[in-house]
Every structure is written in structure tokens, then in C-alpha cells.
Structure 1
Amino acid sequence: MSRLLVDADAIRALADILTETGLTEIEVAEKDSRIRVVRAGTTVAAPVQTIAAPVVSTPAATPVAAAPADLSKHPGAVNSPMVGVAYLAPDPSSPPFITEGQTISVGQTLMLIEAMKTFNQIKATKGGTIKQILIASGDPVEFGQPLVIIE
């Protein structure tokens, strides 16, 4: 009969990391054991106070640049499936997986994201042309952050 050994201190430490960092999931693997701690997302609404600012007219107002559109909702956006560090090449001496203007096919590796010392391949979910690469190699990325635009 096998017996499951649970390291309660390790689970508490991982739960503390989740709380400190605001993450909702963390997993640690070592040899034949794996601990995964998942916290259900909670939304906390903070009260917002609105204060009207006085209107001041200026004789020569300079135009304000429009804020960039939310590219994560772009139909060709490839968004990060995890938090980690993105790498555009398999190693520093190799050419990048993709370049702007390159034609790619479904399943082609676009980049790597390192998370918890594991390199995860980010693959194209559709074919097309790389319109824009939105991150640089070595950049930290967040969950849902747009990485590449494919058209």
C-alpha cells in the first residue's frame, strides 16, 4: 500500500507566495513529486471618488496622442498564456524563431516563455504573416499580455 506524503510547510510557503505576488496558481516539481497550489480568483471592488476638475482654456493647446488600442483583443493577437520571461530565440547565439513580415504556419514555434525554470513553447494557433512583435527577448510578460500580431 502506497502512502501519500504531503509537506504542509511547503504548501503554506507556496500559498504565502500566491498571496504576496497576487498570482492565482503556482506549481513546484522535484524528482517524482509535484505540488500545485491554486487559489480561486476574487474580485475586490474599491470605492472610487470622482472629483470634477476646473475647466481651463489654453490659447494654443497641443494635440494629445491617442492611447494605443488594446492589442490583446486584436483578432490576430497571440496573448501570453502564463507569467514568465519571453525569449525570441532558443539561445542567445541562435536566430530568432520569427521576424516581422515572416510567413508562418499553424503550430510553428513563435517564442519560449520561461516559467518556474521550465521553457514553454508558444506556438502559432493560426497561419499568416507576423505583422508585429510586441516584446523583446528577455522581457517579463504577464498572463494575457499580447506578444505577437499575426495577420
Structure 2
Amino acid sequence: MEIKEIQNLIKFVARSGASEVKLETKDFKITIKTGTERDDVAEIQHIPVVAPVETVTQVVSASQPAAKVETPSQGAAEKSKFLTIKSPIIGTFYRKSSPESPPFVKVGDRVSVGDTVCIIEAMKLFNEVESEVSGTIVEILVDDSSPVEFDQPLYLVDPS
């Protein structure tokens, strides 16, 4: 079974609401637990979820005129025209394959379907994330070496 198939299986299990799925063949054995229904756990752990916050920053220098400040509603309306590349798995986001290598993509780079845009490390496995859209990278939403969640937006892409 290839990584892409495993990622799709994890997505399917997460959406289905099943608490545990076991799959076993002669070559491998995989168990996926979502943790939604656990009768054997006596304590409940609360993990805070931080919602993305849109910040408006204005930098003014003496040599430059004041920049136009966008209100959050303007920024949201403008960003709605962009497509997102999302994390297919939970793990650690890396923009480049090694510390000495250049990033896979930068703001302004053109990507096509199938282009590698980053790596996500999960359980000591490095998974290449391929773009599912074509367009120009307009914003990188995650810092390098940051933890990411399943389905978390990583990049904004202008399809035009």
C-alpha cells in the first residue's frame, strides 16, 4: 500500500466517524484509531484548538507613504478567490527537503497539479505533499518546522 492510499484511508476513516479500523494483508498490517469513542479511558484530555486569527499589520516608515490597512472583511473577501493546498495528514510541516536545500515553493512561484510543495513528517516518515491545484502561490500560511493538523490550509494559490 502506498502513502497516498494510506492518507486517503485516514481521511475516509476520519470522515466516517468510525473509532477504529484495522486492515491486514500478507504484506502489512495497519490500525487507524480516531479516538472518538473510547470507553476504556477514565479521564478526558482537553486539547485547546486555536482558530486562525486574521491579523492586520501596518508598517510605516519615514521614507514611505502610509500603507492602506485592510479590514478583516476585505481581506476575507479577497482571499476567498484563492484555492488552498491543505495538509493531508497530521505532522510537522517542512518547506524544504533539508536545511541546506532551497524551499520547494516560494510566494510568486507557479505550481501545477502533482508538483511537490512541502514535506510533512509523521511518525519519522517524511511524506511529500503534492499540489492538487494549478496556479501561483500567493501566501504561505504555516511557518517552517511547525506542527500541522489534518486538513489545515498550508498555501493560498491564485488559479488565474
> Does the pair score TM above 0.5?
yes
SS of the equivalent of 2:72 reads coil
Say which of 113, 127, 133 aligns to 1:120.
127
User: Where has structure 1 moved over 3 Å in runs of 4 or more?
Assistant: 24-27, 32-35, 39-42, 65-70, 72-75
Q: What does residue 80 of structure 1 align with?
A: 87
Structure 2 segments unaligned to the other structure (5+ residues): 1-18, 38-70
Which sits farther off after the overlay, 140-149 or 72-81?
72-81
Q: What does residue 139 of structure 1 align with?
A: 146
Distance in 2, Cα, partners of 1:74 & 1:81: 22
Distance in 2, Cα, partners of 1:34 & 1:112: 24
Counterpart AA for 1:93: E
The count of residues paired between Structure 1 and Structure 2 equals 102
Shift of 1:137: 1.2
Shift of 1:74: 6.3
Shift of 1:39: 3.6
Distance in 1, Cα, partners of 2:20 & 2:103: 30
Structure 1 segments unaligned to the other structure (5+ residues): 1-23, 43-64
Shift of 1:25: 6.9
Shift of 1:26: 9.5
- Output the TM-score relative to the length of structure 1: 0.56
1:73-106 Cα shifts (integer Å, max 9, x gaps): 7651011111100000000000000000011111
Distance in 2, Cα, partners of 1:25 & 1:86: 26
Change (3 A) 1:26 1:97: farther
Tell me the C-alpha RMSD between the 2 structures.
3.3
Distance in 1, Cα, partners of 2:72 & 2:134: 30
Query: Identity over aligned residues, as a percent?
Result: 37
